[in-house]
């Protein structure tokens, strides 16, 4: 009897096991899709270049330069900055610090050393994992040198904390302004007109912050105000205060550090700093004037950032950049006569093929007939020239410059045939000329100087540009001071450097309409003012005297434009923490013309206080001595063979490893996982080991991914045990001293399902927004059954026994998948607000089960401020032999993430199982189709996004309509006449409407509470529900 029962149980268990595995197959994922995300942006890689390794006394420089002398100068540049910072921080690197250097920003955006996206505004990155500094060459030596010095400070900050008892984790105690401000001060010094402009503006508008305000508010840019903080501290206490103040801030927080190191409270320091900054800058207001021109675009009618205007030659149009669209910085086209924006020229960036556009250095340029506008974008790992029709906004042409991957600062020639630009190649910034007729690129300058911001004279015979030619430099040539305006004769290629304001930053030259005058911006007086230089008369005039300044985002961003045909001018002005665009006629400046000799340079107004103290004098002497004594011998720099070596990035545990005891076994519980990668991040290895029970409950996982080439590929292996149990009770016998005793066997079967998987995968990012995915895996399932028997005789436990029982045979399941994915959405606080995302995927399962799956998921988000109209069309279906036999557990469209108001619980709660011919079974099938539409309104959150400003609890209110249908191979929308039987065979679409409120809970989880009214059920009230996922 007992044997018959056991055989029956074993047979039914095999069938049950097979069904459970098929269910497990769908929800635990037999496939290899764990390597990829469902949606999300990509980091494409378009090159297969091999890195080279150059070794110096303190650095390992990984680079892609072909010119050996350029690479050696680069590593010496890092040594120069390191030794310069070492004198202040007094903390030596314990090992050679890795530097990963890219040839230009488009290459930098493809780096694998950083997992996230690299934006246009990111000049470099220092990370603490391997203490790597990652950055590209910039278009000027000054920019590159600044970023090298800045990121070197971060590397030394990590080194100080790791060599101290604090550890790098103590960085979390430091406010961003303290960390970034320290790097800015040590790489720029106190003479910096851009930061000084921000400080003067804060004083003029009575918004100079306390340190607490800098810490708690996003209103105060940490780089600028942190820069001013350190300039003030070192001007009073000397640079020897930097190290103790930094370390104490990391250990105790900045407020206690001020008390311990400076002997001042936060309130005392903030007041003293503000008072002395105000007393230093206020006297400069005496020589300033009111703003000239008409305020045109400003925060009240566009965004907070309105920059870099550029007129068309006939002044019919003007283009400028703004974050008016809120989610990105874009180029907008203005009808000058109407005085209004007519379209966004960069709207094609919302397509899937362009990664970004470069708004930092240059906006773009108009064709001579004003019908076309050109600007540069990042696409396919390089810069490309995009030409759009100003009348329609349509893209006319995209041009990749032959032999030149990085270029910017473009200007269209008056005859329409040429485009002059700044090209960056092998760390060298030169002028290039593109011939539209011949499709050829020629080089105009070829030297170590940086040449930028080129513009044509009206007759096309001259090109004015900005260069660091004839500027002062340190004895090692690593630090240049100032930029000069140069004239290039297009016919003879001769260059004339104008002798104007030596040592000042003379930028953004623009010709007058007769070509006899050059307008430009200069910080010769410490401000950023507009000047006029007469080429014919060799005379100089200052046209503005503003307390803040005419400025772009950076020192090197254009901020001035002059229309070629009529001389109209426009410029961007920094004021009250925002950027405004003003327009003016040259005659508007006549009343405030002021003669200038063009020689005198006084940057007092562009210097951060204090400007005179004993510590400042000591620093000047120290720097002079440093430049004289610095040297790196050629023998100390050597080329090494680069071999990718794996090093530990991360190790963590999944729980403490503990001894676990019980009635029937003693085991261990716990686990550990680790991530390894090489120095460039091109190769990654993940491994994990876990143990939860006895020795045969060990789980292993491992994966390798190769990200070196355009196609990312890898493999994975896993062995994972899953535990379950069943219980049974039956009559049995127990032998004791040769006597068989009838007993009741209360048996607990401990079932272990072992999943052993081997797979491979590939990902091909086509752009930041598009990718192809594919994978193949084979999974073997086998089982182990251990029975724990408790024997009862007349209700009394008389014995226990553990036995190994027969197990069902193992089986294999294979899977192949291919997907096409796109995503260019912009996110709000709880979900996407604009853009498009889609995923089209097909899978094939074979082996113990055979079926196909097809997935189509398309979502579109149209923002018409302040609301977003969101649409989703979704289909998932199973096809093939096993799908037709209904062996797989059904799909259910009543999930709250699909069609709200039809959850299984809602049928039970409302006591409705069948009403009007509708049952819950009609929501299930092996194929589903869902359509959703929402109108989303940001209720609270960021000020410009939401109705109510809140930094604590962002919320979104939405009205929704959900609809869907589930069917299987029997399901019919309209049954044939005379059909009788189960009503479940009739399938019709279902729908619901309602309202939902989503909330972002401290950035950790997004919760949705909804009230849905289902249409296909008798009215007993709506259905309340909760979701814990971001908005679809």
User: 114-155, pLDDT tens digit by residue?
Assistant: 888 898 889 999 998 889 999 999 999 999 999 999 999 999
Q: What is the pLDDT of residue 887?
A: 66
Q: Render pLDDT for 263-318 as a digit per residue (tens, 0 to 9).
A: 999 999 999 999 999 999 999 988 888 899 999 998 888 888 899 999 999 999 99
Average pLDDT (780-805) is: 91
- Residues β-bridged to residue 483: 505
Look at residue 348 in the predicted model and tell me its pLDDT. 53
Specify the range with the lowest mean pLDDT, choosing from 152-166, 596-610, 661-675, 810-824: 661-675
| CA atoms of 52 and 120, how far apart (whole Å) | 25
Closest CA to 963 of 996, 998, 994, 917: 994
Say what the pTM is.
Answer: 0.88
- Could you identify the residue written with the tokens 């401990």? 750
**φ, ψ dihedrals at 480, nearest 5°:** -95, 155
What's the rounded mean pLDDT across residues 68-73? 93
Confidence band (pLDDT; 50, 70, 90) for 626? confident
Check residues 666 and 78 and name the one with the higher pLDDT: 78
Range of lowest pLDDT (251-265, 722-736, 873-887):
873-887
- Give residue 279's pLDDT: 96
pLDDT given at position 983: 43
Please tell me the predicted confidence (pLDDT) of residue 722: 87
At residue 977, the pLDDT reads 45
* pLDDT digits 0-9 by tens, 576-623: 999 999 999 999 998 788 888 889 999 999 999 998 888 888 888 888
pLDDT value for 467:
96
Is domain 294-606 annotated with CATH 2.120.10.30? Answer: yes
692 pLDDT exceeds 80? no
Confidence of residue 826 (pLDDT cuts 50, 70, 90): confident
What is the spatial distance between Cα 834 and Cα 870, in angstroms, rounded to a whole number? 8
Say how far apart CA 122 and CA 135 lie, in whole Å: 9
Render pLDDT for 93-112 as a digit per residue (tens, 0 to 9).
989 999 999 999 999 999 99
- List helix spans (H) across 738-825: none
Q: At 83, list the tokens.
A: 């030794």
What's the pLDDT at 4?
34
Q: In the predicted model, is pLDDT for residue 913 greater than 70?
A: no
Q: Across-strand partners of 879?
A: 852
Of the pLDDT bands very low, low, confident and very high (cuts 50, 70, 90), residue 500 is very high
Q: pLDDT category, 661, cuts 50, 70, 90?
A: very low
Q: Which of 22-36, 749-763, 1007-1021 has the highest mean pLDDT?
A: 749-763
Q: Pick the more confident residue, 992 or 28.
A: 992
Domain boundaries in the chain? 294-606, 645-810, 824-1032
pLDDT at 298: 87
Mean pLDDT score, 789-810: 90
pLDDT band of residue 347 (cuts 50, 70, 90) is low
Is residue 553 predicted with pLDDT exceeding 80? yes
Mean pLDDT, residues 690-707 taken together = 87
Question: What pLDDT sits at residue 946?
Answer: 82
Identical fold for domains 294-606 and 824-1032, yes or no, is no
Supply the pLDDT for residue 469: 92
Q: Under 8 Å CB-to-CB from 103, ≥6 apart: which residues?
A: 64, 65, 136, 137, 405, 406, 424, 425, 426, 427
Residue 228: pLDDT band by 50, 70, 90 thresholds?
very high
What is the C-alpha to C-alpha distance for residues 205 and 223, in angstroms, rounded to an integer? Answer: 19
Whether 84 shows a pLDDT value over 90: the answer reads yes
Average pLDDT score over residue span 830-859: 93
- What's the mean per-residue pLDDT of the chain? 87
SS3 state at 456: strand
% of the chain residues with pLDDT over 70: 90
pLDDT recorded at residue 9 = 34
621 contacts: CB under 8 Å, gap ≥ 6 = none
> In 436-587, where do the E strands start and end?
440-443, 451-456, 462-467, 472-473, 480-481, 484-489, 495-497, 506-511, 517-522, 529-534, 539-542, 549-550, 560-562, 569-575, 578-584
Binned at pLDDT 50, 70 and 90, residue 950 comes out as: confident
Whether the predicted pLDDT of 646 surpasses 60 = yes
Q: Indicate the pLDDT class of residue 20, thresholds 50, 70 and 90.
A: very low
Instruction: Return the CATH fold of 824-1032.
Output: Porin (2.40.160)
In the predicted structure, residue 978 carries a pLDDT above the cut 50: no
Instruction: Name the range with the highest mean pLDDT among 204-208, 299-303, 667-671, 736-740.
Output: 204-208
Bridge-based pairing of strands 647-653 and 658-661 is unpaired
pLDDT at 928 over 80: yes
* Residue with more model confidence, 656 or 778: 778
Helix, strand, coil percent values for the chain (each to nearest 5): 20, 40, 35
**CA-closest candidate to residue 557, choices 783, 408, 361:** 361
10 pLDDT tier (thresholds 50, 70, 90):
very low
909: pLDDT confidence band, cut at 50, 70 and 90? Answer: low
Higher pLDDT residue, 26 or 211? Answer: 211
pLDDT tier for residue 625 given thresholds of 50, 70 and 90 = confident
Q: Taking residues 18-45, what's their average pLDDT?
A: 57
pLDDT recorded at residue 667? 47
More confident residue, 365 or 671: 365
pLDDT tens digit string along 394-405? 999 999 999 999
DSSP 25: H
Residue 590: predicted pLDDT: 84
């Amino acid at each position: 009897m007992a044997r018959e029962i056991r055989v029956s149980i074993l047979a039914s268990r095999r069938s049950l096991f097979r069904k459970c595995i098929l269910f497990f197959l769908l929800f635990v994922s037999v496939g290899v899709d764990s390597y990829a995300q469902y949606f999300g942006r990509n980091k494409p890689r378009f090159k297969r270049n091999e890195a080279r390794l150059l070794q110096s006394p303190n650095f390992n420089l990984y680079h892609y330069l072909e010119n050996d002398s350029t690479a050696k100068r680069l590593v010496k540049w890092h040594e120069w900055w390191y030794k310069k910072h070492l004198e202040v921080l007094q903390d030596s690197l314990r090992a050679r610090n890795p530097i990963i250097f890219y040839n230009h920003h488009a290459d930098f955006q493809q780096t694998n050393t950083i997992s996230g996206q690299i934006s246009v505004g990111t000049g470099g990155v220092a990370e603490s994992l391997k203490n790597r500094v990652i950055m590209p060459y910039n278009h000027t030596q000054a920019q590159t040198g600044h970023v090298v010095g800045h990121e070197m400070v971060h590397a030394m900050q990590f080194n100080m904390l790791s060599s101290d008892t604090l550890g790098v984790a103590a960085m979390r105690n430091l406010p961003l302004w303290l960390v970034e401000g320290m790097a800015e001060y040590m790489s720029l010094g106190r003479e910096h007109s851009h930061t000084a402009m921000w400080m003067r503006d804060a004083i003029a508008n009575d918004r100079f912050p306390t340190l607490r305000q800098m810490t708690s508010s996003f209103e105060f840019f940490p780089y600028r105000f942190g820069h001013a903080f350190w300039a003030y501290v070192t001007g009073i206490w000397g640079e020897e205060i930097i190290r103790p103040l930094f370390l104490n801030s990391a250990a105790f927080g900045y407020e206690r550090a001020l008390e311990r190191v400076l002997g001042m409270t936060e309130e005392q320091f903030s007041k003293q700093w503000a008072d002395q900054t105000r007393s230093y800058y206020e006297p400069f207001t005496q020589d300033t004037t009111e703003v000239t021109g008409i305020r045109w675009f400003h925060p009240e009618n566009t965004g907070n950032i309105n920059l870099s205007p550029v007129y068309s030659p006939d002044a019919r149009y003007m283009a400028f950049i703004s974050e008016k669209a809120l989610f990105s910085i874009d180029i907008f086209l203005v009808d000058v006569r109407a005085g209004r924006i007519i379209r966004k020229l960069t709207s094609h960036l919302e397509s899937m093929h362009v990664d970004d556009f470069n708004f930092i250095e240059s906006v773009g340029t108009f064709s001579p007939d004003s019908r076309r506008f050109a600007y540069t974008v990042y696409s396919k790992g390089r810069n490309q020239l995009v030409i759009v029709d100003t009348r329609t906004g349509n893209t006319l042409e995209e041009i990749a410059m032959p032999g030149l991957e990085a270029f910017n600062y473009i200007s269209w020639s008056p005859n329409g045939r040429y485009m002059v630009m700044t090209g960056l190649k092998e760390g060298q910034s030169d002028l290039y000329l593109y011939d539209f007729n011949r499709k050829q690129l020629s080089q105009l300058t070829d030297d170590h100087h940086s040449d930028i911001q080129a513009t044509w004279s009206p007759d096309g015979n001259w090109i004015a540009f900005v260069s660091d030619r004839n500027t002062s430099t340190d004895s090692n040539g690593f630090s240049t001071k100032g930029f000069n305006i140069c004239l290039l004769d297009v016919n003879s290629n001769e260059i004339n450097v104008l002798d104007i304001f030596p040592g000042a930053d003379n930028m953004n030259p623009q010709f007058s309409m007769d070509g006899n005058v050059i307008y430009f911006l200069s910080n010769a007086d410490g401000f950023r003012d507009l000047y006029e230089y007469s080429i014919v008369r060799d005379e100089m005039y200052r046209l503005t005297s503003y307390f803040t300044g005419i400025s772009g985002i950076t020192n090197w961003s254009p901020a001035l434009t002059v229309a070629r045909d009529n001389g109209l001018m426009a410029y961007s002005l920094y004021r009250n923490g925002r950027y405004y665009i003003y327009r003016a006629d040259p005659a508007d400046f006549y009343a405030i013309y002021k003669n200038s000799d063009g020689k005198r340079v006084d940057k007092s107004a562009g210097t951060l206080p204090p400007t005179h103290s004993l510590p400042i004098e000591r620093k000047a002497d120290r720097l002079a001595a440093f430049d004289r004594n610095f040297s790196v011998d050629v023998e100390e720099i050597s080329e090494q063979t680069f071999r990718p070596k794996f090093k530990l990035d991360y190790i963590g545990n999944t729980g403490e490893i503990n001894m676990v005891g019980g009635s029937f076994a003693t085991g261990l519980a716990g686990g550990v996982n680790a991530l390894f990668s090489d120095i460039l991040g091109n190769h990654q290895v993940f491994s994990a080991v876990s143990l939860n029970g006895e020795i045969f409950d060990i789980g292993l996982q491992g994966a390798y991914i190769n990200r070196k080439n355009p196609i990312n590929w890898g493999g994975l292996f896993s062995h994972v045990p899953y535990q379950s149990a069943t219980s049974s009770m039956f009559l049995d016998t127990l032998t004791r001293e040769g006597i068989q005793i009838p007993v009741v066997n209360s048996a607990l079967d401990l079932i272990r399902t072992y999943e052993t998987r081997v797979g491979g995968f590939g990902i091909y990012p086509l752009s930041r927004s598009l990718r192809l995915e594919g994978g193949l895996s084979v999974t073997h399932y086998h089982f182990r059954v251990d029975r724990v028997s408790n024997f009862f005789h007349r209700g009394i436990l008389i014995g226990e026994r553990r036995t190994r029982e027969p197990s069902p045979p193992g089986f294999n399941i294979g899977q192949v998948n291919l997907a096409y994915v796109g995503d260019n959405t912009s996110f709000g606080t709880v979900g996407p607000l604009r853009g498009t995302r889609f995923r089209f995927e097909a899978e094939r399962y074979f082996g113990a089960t055979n079926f196909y799956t097809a997935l189509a998921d398309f979502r579109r988000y149209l923002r018409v401020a302040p609301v977003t109209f969101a649409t989703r069309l979704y289909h998932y279906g199973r096809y093939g032999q096993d799908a037709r036999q209904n062996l797989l557990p059904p799909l259910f469209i009543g999930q709250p993430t699909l069609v709200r108001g039809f959850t299984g619980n809602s049928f039970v709660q409302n006591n409705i199982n069948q009403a009007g011919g509708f049952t819950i079974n009609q929501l299930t099938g092996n194929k589903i189709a869902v359509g959703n539409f929402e109108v989303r309104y940001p209720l609270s959150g960021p000020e410009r996004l939401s109705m109510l400003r809140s930094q604590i609890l962002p919320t979104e209110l939405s009205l929704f309509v959900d609809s869907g249908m589930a069917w299987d191979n029997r399901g019919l929308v309209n049954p044939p006449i005379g059909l009788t039987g189960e009503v479940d065979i009739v399938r019709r679409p279902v729908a619901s409407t309602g309202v939902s409120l989503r909330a972002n809970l401290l950035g950790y989880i997004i919760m949705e509470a909804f009230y849905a009214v289902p249409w296909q059920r008798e009215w007993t009230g709506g259905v309340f529900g909760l979701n814990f996922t971001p908005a679809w």
